[in-house]
C-alpha cells in the first residue's frame, strides 16, 4: 500500500491556494493510502490548539475525513507549528511523532525528521530554537492570551524574514556531520526530512553501506510529495 510524505506546506490565510491544493490532495490521491506523514510546518504558524482560524479548521476537517476513511496520519512539529498538541491530534485523527522518529516503511527502517536540527551551522537559529523548545517556554506559551501569541508570532516571522535575507544559503542548509551523526545514532540507511525547501535525493556512503537522504519540497508554488510504494521512493511535484 502506498505511503505519502509531505512537509513545509506553510498553510496560511494569505496563500489560500496552498490549503485548497492540500485539501484536494487529501480527498483525492491520498485517500486509500496506507499512511500520510506530515514532517513539520503544516502551517505557517500555529499559535496553539485554541486557534480557530477558518483556513486551519478546514485543513483539520479534511485530515479528519482522511483518517476516518482508514488512512493513518502522522504529524511532526516543525519550526513554525511546534505548539500543535493533543487537541489538534484528536480533532484531526492524527498521531504526533517526535522529531527524530524511526518508522517502518515497506519493511525498511526510515528516520523521519523535520530537518531544522540538522542545520547546525546556523548558530543564531539554533539558539532561538533552543529557547522556544525549552520545556518551560512550551508550558507558558499556550497559556498566554491568543492576541499576545499573535503579536509574538508576527515579531518572530519578521525576524525570520530578516535572518533569511541576510544569511548565506549554505549556512541555512544541513550540516554534513550532523547528518552523518543522525544516521549513526539511529542505525538506518534512509533519512527523510524537510525544512530546507530543497527537494532532492542525496546518496551517501556510510561505513555500514550505501544510504540516502531524501529532502521534501515546500508547497509555495506547487505541491511536493514523496511517494513510497513497494519499497521504492519517488519525489513528485504536484502542479497547482
pLDDT at 166: 75
Half-sphere exposure of 171 (CA within 13 A, CB side): 11
Gap between the Cα atoms of 240 and 221, Å rounded: 7
| CA neighbor of 141 nearest in space, from 29, 50, 39, 13 | 50
Q: Enter the C-alpha cell of residue 189.
A: 540507511
pLDDT at 105: 94
pLDDT at 156: 84
Gap between the Cα atoms of 3 and 32, Å rounded: 10
Class at the top of the CATH hierarchy for domain 3-238? alpha beta
Over the chain (240 residues), the average pLDDT of each successive run of 10 is 96 96 97 96 95 93 98 97 96 98 94 98 94 93 92 86 81 94 97 97 94 98 95 93
Gap between the Cα atoms of 89 and 66, Å rounded: 13
Each residue's pLDDT tens digit, 72-92: 999 999 999 999 999 999 999
Q: Is 53 helix (H, G, I), strand (E, B) or coil?
A: coil
Helical pair 16-27 and 54-68, crossing angle rounded to 10 deg:
10
| CA neighbor of 157 nearest in space, from 6, 10, 51 | 10
What is the model's pTM?
0.95
pLDDT at 168: 83
Amino acid at each position: 500500500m502506498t505511503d505519502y510524505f509531505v512537509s513545509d506546506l506553510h498553510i496560511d490565510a494569505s496563500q489560500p491556494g496552498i490549503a485548497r491544493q492540500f485539501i484536494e490532495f487529501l480527498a483525492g490521491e491520498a485517500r486509500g493510502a496506507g499512511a500520510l506523514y506530515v514532517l513539520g510546518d503544516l502551517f505557517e504558524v500555529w499559535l496553539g490548539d485554541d486557534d480557530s482560524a477558518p483556513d486551519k479548521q478546514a485543513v483539520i476537517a479534511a485530515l479528519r475525513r482522511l483518517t476516518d476513511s482508514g488512512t493513518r496520519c502522522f504529524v511532526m512539529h516543525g519550526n513554525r507549528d511546534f505548539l500543535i498538541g493533543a487537541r489538534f491530534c484528536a480533532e484531526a485523527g492524527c498521531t504526533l511523532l517526535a522529531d527524530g522518529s524511526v518508522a517502518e516503511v515497506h519493511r525498511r527502517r526510515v528516520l523521519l525528521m523535520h530537518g531544522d536540527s540538522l542545520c547546525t551551522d546556523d548558530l543564531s537559529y539554533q539558539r532561538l530554537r533552543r529557547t522556544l523548545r525549552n520545556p518551560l517556554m512550551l508550558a507558558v506559551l499556550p497559556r498566554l492570551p491568543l492576541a499576545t501569541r499573535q503579536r509574538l508570532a508576527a515579531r518572530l516571522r519578521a525576524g525570520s524574514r530578516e535572518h533569511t535575507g541576510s544569511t548565506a544559503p549554505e549556512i541555512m542548509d544541513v550540516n554534513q556531520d550532523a547528518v552523518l551523526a543522525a544516521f549513526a545514532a539511529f542505525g538506518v540507511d534512509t533519512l527523510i526530512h524537510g525544512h530546507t525547501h530543497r527537494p532532492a535525493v542525496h546518496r551517501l556512503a556510510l561505513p555500514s553501506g550505501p544510504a540516502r537522504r531524501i529532502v521534501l519540497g515546500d508547497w509555495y508554488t506547487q505541491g511536493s510529495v514523496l511517494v513510497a510504494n513497494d519499497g521504492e521512493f519517488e519525489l513528485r511535484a504536484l502542479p497547482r
